[in-house]
Amino acid sequence: MAQRRFDSSWVIGAGLIEIMGSFGTNGSNNPVAANVKGMGFGYAPIAGVMTLQSAARPGISGTPGIVHSATGTYVVTFDDTYIDLLYAGADLMVASASANWAQPGPFSAGVSQTASTCTFFVINSSGAGQDIAAATYSRVEFECIFRNSSVQFGRP
């Protein structure tokens, strides 16, 4: 379970956590930290610039962040341990219409205080992984809704 205070929203179901973010594509390399938007997956603003944090949160093993692991494949490691993923979505922002898109892939629930991960794929029209060069409007946008409690149907 995550061990920090979260802002609340109105949801049906206890312990739901929503994390949204986006990152600029960088060809076959890891995203540049300054081009990451969102929090909860290893980045935080330092003097107004997003910076990859050097270590996991206390008590959590794993290194949060975004790793380009293969052609068109990004693994997002979150700051905390979540017991289940209720929803994941992904989109690809581009400067003009293209035959590429982003989609969520496998989720790994954190166990024994290990950070949770989710994989996101950028694919072309034939379904093959596609690296996208860095450009102003080339971004992978994602959203994950996690369950952070074993009380699934209690009142929030």
Determine the pLDDT at residue 145: 94
Q: Determine the average pLDDT of the residues in 12-33.
A: 89
Residue 126: other Cβ atoms inside 10 A: 7
Q: What is the pLDDT of residue 122?
A: 97
- Order the strands of the 101-108 sheet from edge to edge: 65-70, 73-77, 117-123, 101-108
**Do residues 115 and 56 make contact, with C-beta atoms less than 8 angstroms apart?**
yes
For the chain, give the percent of residues with pLDDT over 70: 88
Q: For residue range 79-94, what is the model confidence (pLDDT) as tens digits?
A: 888 888 999 999 999 9
Instruction: Over range 128-143, report the average pLDDT.
Output: 94
Dump pLDDT digits (tens) for 119-130: 999 999 999 999
The domain segmentation of the chain, as residue ranges, is: 16-147
Least confident interval from 72-76, 77-81, 104-108 = 77-81
